[in-house]
Structure 1
Amino acid sequence: MRVVIAGAGAVGCSIAAELLENGHDVLLIDRSPQAVSVARVPEAEWLLADACEIRTLDDAALERCQVVIAASGDDKVNLVVSLLAKTEYGVPRVVARVNDPENEWLFNDSWGVDVAVSTPRLMSALVEEAVSVGDLVRLLRFSQGEANLVELTLPEGAALVGTRVGEVDWPGDTALVTIIRGGRVLTPDPDDALAAGDELLFVAAQDREAQLEQLLSPRPGETGEAG
């Protein structure tokens, strides 16, 4: 897979190194001579240029890319790169870094963004995920289709404890992606029974999140004991 990364700061270089280790081809673009340091990621291609200019993106052959990552420290740059990548070059997957949480609402398909990654929001979500049981935690927002990656740890007393996955009437536009149980990652099987303490990861439409949380959380008067 060919990946172009706009922004060769610490974030961009770290992403590039990880992708190269996984066998992908990576081109890093930055307009700052100080940022363009081939020795930092010698296996990558480098381009000293402004990623917001069409000529630069032509030189980068964006039409041959499967993924563009807008990873600069400037939200305006990341939005422009995302829009050009999607509308001018038809890049299938555009991932954009959100630096200022107040700008997050802009990072959607109107600006060509498929996945927006907000570091402050992600760190907050990971803290919530570590301490929350029975509450739905949004981990990642996918701009296309208004879907999110969400997590909920199934609490004691939830009505679905002991219920088989295939027997649950899940909300529409919702998919159970994986079950994390006792350090193991399980691919959901219709015959798997849900257990208290299961960490459930879903891709769900935003307007289904409240319904999903209600389904999985304890219900008043239901504690798992016979009444």
Structure 2
Amino acid sequence: RLGHTVAVIDKNARAFQRLKPGFGGKTIVGFVFDRDVLEEAGIKEAEAFASVTNGDNSNILSARTAKEHYRVPHVVARIYDPRRAQIYQRLGIQTVATVRWTTDQILRQLIPNEVPVEYTVDNGEVVVTAIVAPAEIVGKFASEIDVDGLRRVIAVSRFGVPRLPDKKLAIQDGDILHLSVARGELGTLMQDLKMVGRPE
């Protein structure tokens, strides 16, 4: 729906019947952790990879293969046991827990430069958005991101748990930032965040 080329892997060909009519991507029958299958799907050129099977072990194995062997920039693994999330994220694998996450939230992990609007305030001049923290601001304090009249961090979600920021809250890899933003700032938000703390 966003204009990206998509390949879907499933061990059961009948699963592809659940794809929407007119799906224009590639479908491959096989196991998601099989490197031959992954390469047939085009993983060597992939910018993002999501493993969302019904098994935690298959998901994390294929996600690690995508991240560590094929160097795919954006990788997400679906998990059913949220207690494993912190372990996987230490390995550099972003995780989504089935109970708490939606397709749109998975897309935020895979396509971090997209800036989705979650809520519009009154006439739309102020919006609330949620984005994956860019690597450039990891280690910086949430308070450093705020700019009067333009943007403010209103919450930070870490391992699926939201919290209100304070002056000592440092941004970690994988954090989801919930921000109130002036609508006119949306177009340059990601680039502006990457410049936080740099000399002008």
Q: Which residue of 2 aligns with 1:200?
A: 154
Query: Match for residue 105 of structure 1?
Result: 86
| 2:171 is the counterpart of 1:190 | no
Shift in alpha-carbon separation, 1:173–1:51, aligned structure 2, 3 A: same
Shift in CA distance, 119/212, structure 1 to aligned 2, threshold 3 Å: farther
TM-score w.r.t. length of structure 2 = 0.53
Paired residue for 1:56? 37
1:38 and 1:214 map into 2 onto residues whose CA distance is 46
Deviations 1:13-61 (A, max 9, x none): xxxxxxxx11111100011122133763522211111111111112122
Distance 1:172 1:61, change over 3 A: closer
- Return the letter of the residue paired with 1:95: V
Gaps of 5+ in 2: 103-129, 170-200
**2:15 aligned counterpart, secondary structure:** coil
Match of 1:3 in 2: none
Q: How many residues align?
A: 136
Separation of aligned partners in 2, 1:214 and 1:92:
29
Partner of 2:15: 35
CA RMSD of aligned residues (A): 4.0
Preserved contact between residue 48 and residue 74 of structure 2 (Cα < 8 Å): yes
**d(CA) in 2 for partners of 1:173 and 1:203?**
14
Q: Provide the TM-score with structure 1 as the length reference.
A: 0.48
Per-residue Cα deviation, 1:158-180 (whole angstroms, up to 9, x for no partner):
xxxxxxxxxxxxx9432677xxx
1:173 and 2:128 are equivalent in the alignment: no
Runs of 4+ in 1 over 6 A off after TM superposition: 139-142
Separation (CA, whole Å) in 2 of partners of 1:214 and 1:192:
21
Taking every aligned residue pair, what percent have the same amino acid on both sides?
19
CA-CA distance at 1:75 after TM superposition = 0.7
Asked if structure 1 preserves the Cα contact closer than 8 Å seen for 2:51 and 2:77, the reply is yes
1:78 aligns to 2:59 (yes or no): yes
Aligned amino acid, residue 15 of structure 2? A
| CA spacing shift, 1:106–1:58, aligned 2, 3 Å | same
The CA distance in 2 between the partners of 1:193 and 1:67, in whole Å, is 28
Judged with a 3 Å threshold, the aligned counterparts in structure 2 of structure 1 residues 59 and 203 are, in CA distance, closer, same or farther, namely: same
C-alpha distance 172-107 of structure 1, shift in aligned 2 (>3 A): same
Cα distance 1:193–1:116, how it changes in 2: closer, same or farther (>3 A)? closer
The verdict on how the C-alpha distance between 1:32 and 1:200 changes in structure 2, with shifts beyond 3 A counting, is same
Structure 1 residue identity aligned to 2:142: T
| CA distance in 2: counterparts of 1:93 and 1:193, whole angstroms | 26
- Which residue does 1:23 correspond to in 2? 3
Report if aligned partners of 1:86, 1:94 keep a CA contact under 8 Å in 2.
Answer: yes
Question: In structure 2, how many angstroms separate the alpha carbons of the residues matched to 1:98 and 1:78?
Answer: 7
